[in-house]
Amino acid sequence: MEDVGLEFTRGLNVILGPNGSGKTTLLRCIIGMLKPQAGNIRIEEGETSYAPAEYFGAEMSVLDVLLSGGSGRDYASYLEPFGLQAFLDRNFSSLSTGEKRMVLIAKALAEGDVVLMDEPTSGLDLKNQVKLRVILAGIKHKVIVASTHDITFAQGADRVTLLKSGRILAHGEAERVLTEELLTQLYEVRVRRVSVDGHTLFLT
């Protein structure tokens, strides 16, 4: 990665980029798992949390997964929108991939003021993707940084960063950044932006 100078503020910040562009690497630098060779990363205030793309399906109850790390925060308000209250006693490893992801996303949202998510929509069916987008759109007091290659998800963001091969292609409001030219350049496929019934769609 090179010349990455960014600021993430309250609301939903999305890092959009193709596979291998460095999205996960950037997230891992923010939590301190990887050290940048030059420059620094500063978290102004608050606790950090992370919802990973890959994790170990541990044999413990969902409640124990939520309580792991012992943050003492209240999970109840984040369980309900995800419909997870009924899952508390179930064995985490027996849940479906999508259900496990939602548990970890709910945990990250409850525990962090700065919430990092690695490809949060991957593994989620359409209904849960919509649920997630609605929930995230409603959280304005946390700094959420989510990496994705899902353009629809990026549309709901307050700010979008386009990351290609370790470099920033563009950064700013979704409307200004998600253009045909920039997206075509990003994905190296012809991307068309179309308006249908007042909604913006992206087609290849």
Partner 1 sequence: MKSTRIALFSLIFFFSIFASLIYGEVYIPPSALLHPHGVYSIILERIRIPTVLAAATIGASLGVCGAVMQMLLRNPLMDPYVSGTASGGAFGAVLSYFLLAFNLPFAFLVYVSPLIAFAFALLSTFITIAIGKRTGVYGLVVGGVVVAFIFSSAVTILTTLISNRYPFVPSVTFWLQGQIVVVGWRRDLGLFALTAILVLLGLRHARRIDLVAISDEMSYARGINPNTYRYVWVILVSLVSGYIVSLVGIVGFVGIIVPHIVRRTLGGSTTKLVPYSALLGSPILLLANILSSGILGTVIPVTAITSLAAAPIIVYVMVRGIADKRY
- Is 111 a binding residue for partner 1 by CB under 8 A? The answer is yes
- Is 31 a binding residue for partner 1 by CB under 8 A? The answer is yes
Are 192 and 180 contacting, i.e. CB atoms less than 8 angstroms apart? yes
- Is 50 a binding residue for partner 1 by CB under 8 A? The answer is yes
Q: Closer to partner 1 at the Cβ: 68 or 96?
A: 68
One-letter amino acid at 27 equals L
Select the residue interacting with partner 1 from 25, 61, 184, 185 (CB under 8 A): 61
- Is 49 a binding residue for partner 1 by CB under 8 A? The answer is yes
Tokens of 60: 């413990």
- Is 12 a binding residue for partner 1 by CB under 8 A? The answer is no
Size of the site for partner 1 (CB under 8 A): 34
Quickly tell me which residue has 């995800």 as its tokens: 82
Select the residue interacting with partner 1 from 33, 41, 76, 194 (CB under 8 A): 33
Sites for partner 1 among residues 150-169 (CB under 8 A): none
Select the residue interacting with partner 1 from 10, 28, 73, 171 (CB under 8 A): 28
- Is 118 a binding residue for partner 1 by CB under 8 A? The answer is yes
CB of 162 to partner 1, least distance (A): 23
Tokens of 14: 């999305």
Sites for partner 1 among residues 67-96 (CB under 8 A): 67-71, 91, 93
Strand order in the sheet with 114-118: 48-51, 114-118, 143-148, 11-16, 159-164, 167-172
Q: What are phi and psi of 170, to 5 degrees?
A: -165, 160
Select the residue interacting with partner 1 from 4, 6, 18, 52 (CB under 8 A): 52
State the residues that interact with partner 1 by CB under 8 A: 27-28, 31-33, 47-52, 54-61, 64-65, 67-71, 91, 93, 104, 108, 111-112, 116, 118
